[in-house]
């Protein structure tokens, strides 16, 4: 808008004027506001799906990750846990003289 024109309030009732001489304008309280014409953006064409089929890779039966968990002994912390619990019991549950 021009600096001398006040801003339009939201939800104001306006009149849209179309003329070959002035083009498109908006009238509010007997004041003309120039308006830029709206140019619709060109739609983009959708991307064509690729002809390649998607497939998931599966390891062969001889692959390490398929049956490798049976080849390695599992790690157990039972012995060290028992030692830690015994130490904590001796520290916190014993009565000092």
Residues 2-44 have pLDDT tens digits of 567 888 888 999 999 888 877 888 899 988 888 877 778 898 8
What is the residue range of 21's domain?
12-37
| 24 part of a folded domain | yes
Is residue 28 in a domain? Answer: yes
Residue 84 lies in a domain: no
Q: Does residue 32 sit within a domain? A: yes
- Looking at residue 15, its pLDDT comes to 93
In this structure, is residue 18 part of a structural domain? Answer: yes
- Residue 3's pLDDT is 65
Q: Is the pTM of this model over 0.75?
A: no
pLDDT of 2 reads: 58
What is the per-residue pLDDT for 90? Answer: 87
- 8 A C-beta contact, residue 26 and residue 32: yes
Residue 16 lies in a domain: yes
Quote the pLDDT of residue 71. Answer: 72
CA 25 to each of CA 5, 39, 43, 50: distance values in angstroms, whole numbers, following the listed order: 14, 16, 27, 48
pLDDT digits (tens, 9 = 90+) for 38-88: 778 898 888 887 777 778 888 787 777 777 777 777 777 777 788 888 888
Within a domain: 33: yes
Q: Count the domains in the chain.
A: 1
Q: Is residue 1 part of a domain?
A: no
Q: How far is CA 52 from the centre of its chain?
A: 28
């Amino acid at each position: 808008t021009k600096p001398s024109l006040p801003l339009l309030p939201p939800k104001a009732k306006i009149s849209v004027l179309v003329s070959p001489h002035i083009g498109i304008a908006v009238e509010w309280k007997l004041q003309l506001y120039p308006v830029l014409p709206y140019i619709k953006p060109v739609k983009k064409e959708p991307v064509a799906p690729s002809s390649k089929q998607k497939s998931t890779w599966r390891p062969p039966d001889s692959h390490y990750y398929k049956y490798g968990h049976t080849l390695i002994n599992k790690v157990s912390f039972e012995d060290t846990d028992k030692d830690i619990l015994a130490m904590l019991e001796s520290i916190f549950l014993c009565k000092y003289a």
